[in-house]
């Protein structure tokens, strides 16, 4: 078997074990958390014992801890993630309708991060110490430090209300309208991550530019473009790793942005489900997020493997 | 058109850093002017409404938050419905009578149809009762039907509901504002069975002026006039309802003209709403009650002097004046005045409910505590829901006063779901209740708070006898008197300390207004009451 397949296979098996362990941990934490889903469903009103009993029976809330977990696991192995206690609908369809929004938002923010963060980092490193470097560096500090809901509010106020070029909330219909609606949220998300990627790229490129091989290449009279290509390849590993981190962060970290822009994504669903103790929904979202993070990490490793011959050599 | 232009221009500037991108967007904004908003406020045939929280299900039996009712009452109807004073008026039943203490006979109107044009039959009513009665289908409202023995078709257009024992409060059961929504078995079957009722897949089909055309939880609901409602034509043909949890975003959405009406805005944010441009903020009582529950079975709250000391230390008028900006009233009973205004005038109602006379007085508070079993004070904790800003502030003020007495009141903020667990819990001798009365029935909160297993663990034989008597009393004012007397007994002993009766605030485009705005306005097809100003 080619080593790359063996490597990927082993990682996939490890991922499955990780997800299984994670599901048990999340289930246990929620099980132990204060509150009663049946009571939550009834809200602040007189809870009749009959109604409570009926709900508890319907969602198997009276079963023992381990029976409840096995019940959930049995369904999950058949890709049936159960019924949401809060909405009464199936978790799979609930997630299906939400994951799309979060995925599109994450993807858009990711693209913005890549097409802005990396070139800007490269540009700044090439002109280290110059005016554009300092301007970009200053912006990046704001980007890393500013809380996303505050950035979102400022963008909403300027571009949604004052200039009226972007919608203030919601999703829109059709492809173009959807992208238009997701632009401000994606910029909000990408502001912090773009700044992070910018700083990492700049650091990596500055380091490479000070290397002997660059001095040597320059002394041999290579064109700046050829040098840039050399530098980019060598600086790629920390950049790719940071991009993996950023994408994983997006998938779990869209909560504040989703709430600010009233987007029906996974983040807002997770927040309300955790406090409600809607265990089937929380389980499904955490596992989905964990799977995305694990697969992203795997993709980063494969990419590193492809970029760097030294890593390839070591694995062989 | 300018949407695609905006995006194309933006791509030109990509790759030059965040600052350049923002500058580019600003430039686009300048060139295209403020064309982004749809200007929906101008077109009166469409009303865009923002709700502060999301719905996950459209059938209130499955999810019965306040905003669920605002949406449901536009699509679904009951047999009867509240008028603007809270008196019951015809809906799908053109008339009804209580034939015996346990039987209610409803005569159905002939002209009612479902949104597909098919007529409403007595069988549909019976089917819908059985839905609402089933704790599995309607966990939120089944308890309201627990005392109902049966619903039967007793004539071509007549349905009789039989109770197991007399209960006057049942009259409010078959309203869409409380616990009854008429649909038909064929619609439920066609859309995936009862499990899918009200979900994005199953939706709901009813007899109201609107039908649901789309529903996305955490995003919104769209409704369209059916044109076949028995109540006649509706001026607003389309209602677009958006769920926008973040209040700042809602204010910006109003400012940009994307929404016409925001319901249940927070009172503390009212000044910000007023600044949003072309926006009017309206206030109306909402039959809500906020008060302290003392668990009289838990020391030291088993001592009436302790309870009275805390009551004297609570500046109830001050809370209303400073925390609610005057939008509310210091409460003096469990029943809210709006629940008896169909029988009395406003001032008579308030007078009748003036049961609590414990004005803010620190000297008396000290004297009461000195006479108690814990004269040197004690330490206790209250759990406060994190979304209850005004209540949190009130308790902070109360804690300051209590410190003077030597009582250390710790405030523990918690998610709303965790707060439910503090009600009646022996771990929290002092808890609070924020209760939104669903019905206009004056017994709604007393039945819980004075009944068996009440959160105060308070028992009194005379009080229970009065409460039981009120259950079958058909003379409405005699019943109010019995309920008032029962409350007087519990409040004399300060088992509960009512703090205030609340108001709801609504922000609306200044070109519109809500006619007859009161606590019942949004509980019957309410778009009829949205009027153009001037």
Per-residue pLDDT band for A314 (boundaries 50, 70, 90) equals low
Q: Which range is least confidently modeled, A100-109, A298-307, B24-33, B323-332?
A: B24-33
User: Cβ contacts of residue B263 below 8 Å, gap of 6+?
Assistant: B49, B50, B51, B52, B67, B70, B504, B506, B522
Residues of chain B with pLDDT under 50: 1-43
Average pLDDT over residues A283-311: 84
**Dihedral angle sign, alpha carbons of residues A277, A278, A279, A284:** negative
The answer for B326, left when phi > 0, alpha when psi is -120 to 50, beta otherwise, is left
A36 vs B contacts (CB less than 8 Å): 420-421
Average pLDDT, chain A: 85
- Kindly list the residues from chain A whose CB atom is less than 8 angstroms away from the CB atom of residue B133: none
pLDDT at A313: 63
Q: How far is B367 from chain A (nearest CA, A)?
A: 35
Q: Residue A86's closest chain B neighbor by CA?
A: B56
Does the ipTM exceed 0.85?
A: no
Give A76-140 as a DSSP string: HHTT---B-TTT-SBHHHHHHHHHHHHHHHHHHHHHHIIIIIHHHHHHHHHTTTSHHHHHHHHHH
Name the band, by pLDDT with cuts 50, 70 and 90, for residue A254. confident
Please tell me which of A1-5, A133-137, A148-152, B215-219 the model is most confident about, judged by mean pLDDT: A133-137
Nearest to A153 among B18, B29, B248 (CB): B248
What pLDDT score was predicted for residue A252? 65
Determine, for residues B33 and A41 on separate chains, whether the beta-carbon distance falls below 8 Å.
no
What pLDDT sits at residue B13?
33
CB contact under 8 A, A40 and B420: yes
What pLDDT is recorded for position B112?
A: 95
pLDDT of residue A49: 77
**pLDDT tens track for A208-219:** 988 899 899 989
Choose from B4, B5, B17, B272 for mutation: most chain A CBs within 10 A.
Answer: B17
Does A267 have pLDDT greater than 80? yes
- Cβ-based neighbours of B173, under 8 Å, separated by 6 or more: B144, B145, B148, B179, B180
Residue A307 has what pLDDT? 81
Nearest to A160 among B256, B420, B423 (CB): B256
Does A160 reach chain B within 8 Å, measured CB to CB? yes
Angle (nearest 5°) at CA B476 between B473 and B479: 50
- Test A170 with B418 for CB contact under 8 angstroms: no
Please judge whether A44 and B434 are an interchain contact, meaning their C-beta atoms are less than 8 angstroms apart: yes
Task: Answer whether residue A221 shows pLDDT above 50.
Answer: yes
Task: Identify the pLDDT of residue B224.
Answer: 96
Tens of pLDDT, residues A10-35: 888 988 898 899 889 988 988 888 77
Q: Higher-confidence residue: B12 or A186?
A: A186
Side-chain-side CA neighbours of A278 within 13 Å: the count stands at 27
């Amino acid at each position: 078997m080619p080593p790359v397949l063996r490597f990927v296979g082993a990682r996939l098996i490890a991922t499955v074990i990780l997800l299984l362990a994670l599901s048990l941990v999340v289930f246990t934490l929620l099980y132990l958390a204060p509150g009663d889903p049946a009571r939550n469903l009834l809200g602040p009103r007189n809870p009749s014992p009959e109604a409570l009993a009926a709900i508890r029976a319907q969602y198997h809330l009276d079963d023992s801890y381990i029976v409840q977990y096995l019940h959930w696991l049995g369904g999950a192995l058949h890709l049936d993630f159960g019924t949401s206690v809060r909405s009464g609908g199936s978790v799979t369809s609930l997630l299906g309708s939400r994951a799309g929004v979060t995925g599109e938002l994450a993807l858009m923010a990711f693209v913005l991060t890549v097409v802005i963060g990396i070139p800007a980092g490269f540009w700044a490193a090439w002109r280290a110490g110059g005016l554009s470097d300092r301007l970009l560096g200053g912006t990046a500090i704001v980007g890393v430090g500013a809380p996303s809901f505050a950035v979102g509010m400022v963008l909403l106020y300027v571009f949604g209300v004052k200039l009226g070029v972007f919608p203030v909330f919601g999703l829109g219909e059709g492809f173009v309208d959807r992208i238009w609606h997701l632009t401000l949220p994606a910029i909000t998300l990408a502001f912090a991550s773009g700044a992070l990627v910018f700083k990492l790229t700049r650091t990596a490129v500055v380091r490479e530019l000070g290397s002997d091989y660059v001095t040597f290449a320059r002394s041999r009279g290579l064109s700046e473009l050829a040098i840039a290509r050399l530098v980019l390849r060598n600086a790629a590993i920390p950049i790719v790793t940071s991009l993996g981190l950023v994408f994983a962060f997006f998938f779990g970290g869209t909560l504040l942005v989703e709430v600010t822009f009233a987007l029906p994504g996974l983040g807002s669903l997770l927040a309300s489900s955790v406090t409600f103790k809607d265990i089937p929904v929380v389980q499904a979202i955490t596992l989905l997020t964990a799977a995305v993070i694990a697969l992203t990490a795997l993709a980063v490793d494969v990419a590193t493997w492809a970029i760097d011959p030294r890593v390839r050599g070591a694995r062989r | 058109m300018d949407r695609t232009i905006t995006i194309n221009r933006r791509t030109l500037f990509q790759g030059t850093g965040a600052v350049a991108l923002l500058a580019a967007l600003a430039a686009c904004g300048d060139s295209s002017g403020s064309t982004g908003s749809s200007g929906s406020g101008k077109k009166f045939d469409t009303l865009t409404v923002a709700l502060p929280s999301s719905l996950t299900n459209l059938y209130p039996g499955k999810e019965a938050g306040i905003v669920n009712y605002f949406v449901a009452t536009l699509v679904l109807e009951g047999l009867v419905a509240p008028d603007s004073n809270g008196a019951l008026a015809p809906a799908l039943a053109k008339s009804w009578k209580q034939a015996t203490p346990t039987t209610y006979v409803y005569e159905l109107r002939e002209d009612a149809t479902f949104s597909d044009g098919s007529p409403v039959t007595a069988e549909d009513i019976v089917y819908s009762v059985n839905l609402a009665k089933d704790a599995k289908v309607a966990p939120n409202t089944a308890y309201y039907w627990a005392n109902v023995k049966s619903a039967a078709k007793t004539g071509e257009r007549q349905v009789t509901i039989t109770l197991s024992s007399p209960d006057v409060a049942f009259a409010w059961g078959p309203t869409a504002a409380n616990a009854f929504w008429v649909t038909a078995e064929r619609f439920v079957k066609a859309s995936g069975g009862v499990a899918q009722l009200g979900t994005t897949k199953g939706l709901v089909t009813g007899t109201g002026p609107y039908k649901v055309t789309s529903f996305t939880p955490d995003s919104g609901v769209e409704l369209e006039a059916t044109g076949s409602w028995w109540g006649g034509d509706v001026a607003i043909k389309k209602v677009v309802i958006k769920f926008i949890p973040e209040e700042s975003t809602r204010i910006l959405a109003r400012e940009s003209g994307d929404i016409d009406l925001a319901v249940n805005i927070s009172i503390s944010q009212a000044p910000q709403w007023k600044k949003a441009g072309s926006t009017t903020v309206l206030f109306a009582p909402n039959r809500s009650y906020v008060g302290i529950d003392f668990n009289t079975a838990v020391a030291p709250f088993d001592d009436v002097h302790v309870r009275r000391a805390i009551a004297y230390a609570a500046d109830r008028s001050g809370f209303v004046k400073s925390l609610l900006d005057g939008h509310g009233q210091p409460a003096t009973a469990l029943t809210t005045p709006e629940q008896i205004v169909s029988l009395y005038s406003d001032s008579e109602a308030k007078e009748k409910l003036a049961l609590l006379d414990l004005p803010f007085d620190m000297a008396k508070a000290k004297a009461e505590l000195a006479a108690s079993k814990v004269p040197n004070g004690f330490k206790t904790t209250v759990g406060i829901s994190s979304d209850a800003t005004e209540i949190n502030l009130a308790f902070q003020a109360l804690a300051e006063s209590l410190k003077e007495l030597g009582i250390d009141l710790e405030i523990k903020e918690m998610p709303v779901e965790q707060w439910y667990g503090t009600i009646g819990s022996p771990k929290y001798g002092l808890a609070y209740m924020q209760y939104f009365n669903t019905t206009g029935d004056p017994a709604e909160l007393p039945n819980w708070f004075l009944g068996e297993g009440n959160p105060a663990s308070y028992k009194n034989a005379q009080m229970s006898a009065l409460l039981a008597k009120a259950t079958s009393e058909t003379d409405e004012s005699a019943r109010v008197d019995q309920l008032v007397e029962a409350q007087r007994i519990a409040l004399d002993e300060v088992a509960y300390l009512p703090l205030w009766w609340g108001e709801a605030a609504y922000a609306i485009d200044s070109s519109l207004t809500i006619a007859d705005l009161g606590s019942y306005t949004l509980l019957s097809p309410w778009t009829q009451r949205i009027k153009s100003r001037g």
